[in-house]
């Protein structure tokens, strides 16, 4: 009954513009790159191995490129998603610290750093004075 109508998505941000062959620009670049990597690998491997093994090398070499090209989760492409996972895993503290405790720790660290620097400069000055006395 609704054959004459085209459904329009409510969120137009999810609509991707198609460049060529009904592919987005990202997909077009990814598939081209996979072709440039996979086809020469297949042609090279075919000389030394049976055809079915060469095809497996083609598939194994292009699958990561296809994954990176097509992966999208919560509107994030693979690179951004991986970046957020990496930052969360390695650069964020495992437990949340209250602001007061964090500021206290920061103050303590700054004092310790200042003490260490002052000891270093006093030690250098002492070494310089001793060096002058030995020359005389």
- First-to-last alpha carbon distance for the chain, in angstroms, is 107
The predicted structure's pLDDT at residue 24: 87
Q: Report DSSP state, residue 17.
A: P
The predicted structure's pLDDT at residue 30: 95
pLDDT by residue, tens only, the chain of 136 residues: 567 788 777 777 777 788 787 888 999 999 999 999 999 999 999 999 999 999 999 999 999 999 999 999 988 999 999 999 999 888 887 777 788 888 999 999 999 999 888 877 766 666 666 666 555 5
Tokens of 92: 């964020």
The predicted structure's pLDDT at residue 68: 95
The structure's pTM equals 0.58
Contact 71, 81 (CB under 8 A): yes
The predicted structure's pLDDT at residue 129: 67
* Phi and psi angles of residue 72, each rounded to the nearest 5 degrees, phi first: -155, 125
Which residues neighbour 65 within 8 Å (Cβ) at sequence distance 6 or greater?
A: 30, 33, 34, 37
Tokens of 49: 């191995």
Task: Give one DSSP letter per residue of 44-89, joined into a string.
Answer: HHHHHS-HHHHHHHHHHHHHHHHHHHH-EETTEEHHHHHHHHHHHH
The predicted structure's pLDDT at residue 17: 80
Dihedral sign computed on CA atoms, order 96, 101, 107, 110: negative
């Amino acid at each position: 009954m609704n054959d004459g109508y085209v459904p329009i998505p409510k969120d137009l941000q999810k609509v991707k513009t198609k460049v060529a062959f009904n592919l987005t620009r990202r997909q077009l670049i990814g598939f081209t790159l996979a072709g440039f990597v996979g086809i020469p690998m297949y042609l090279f491997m075919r000389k030394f191995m049976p055809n079915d093994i060469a095809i497996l090398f083609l598939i194994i070499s292009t699958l990561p490129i296809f994954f990176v090209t097509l992966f999208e989760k919560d509107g994030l492409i693979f690179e951004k998603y991986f970046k957020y996972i990496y930052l969360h895993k390695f650069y964020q503290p495992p437990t949340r610290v209250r602001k007061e405790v964090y500021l206290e720790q920061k103050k303590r660290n700054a004092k310790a750093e200042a003490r260490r620097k002052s000891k270093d400069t006093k030690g250098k000055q002492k070494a310089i004075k001793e060096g002058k006395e030995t020359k005389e």
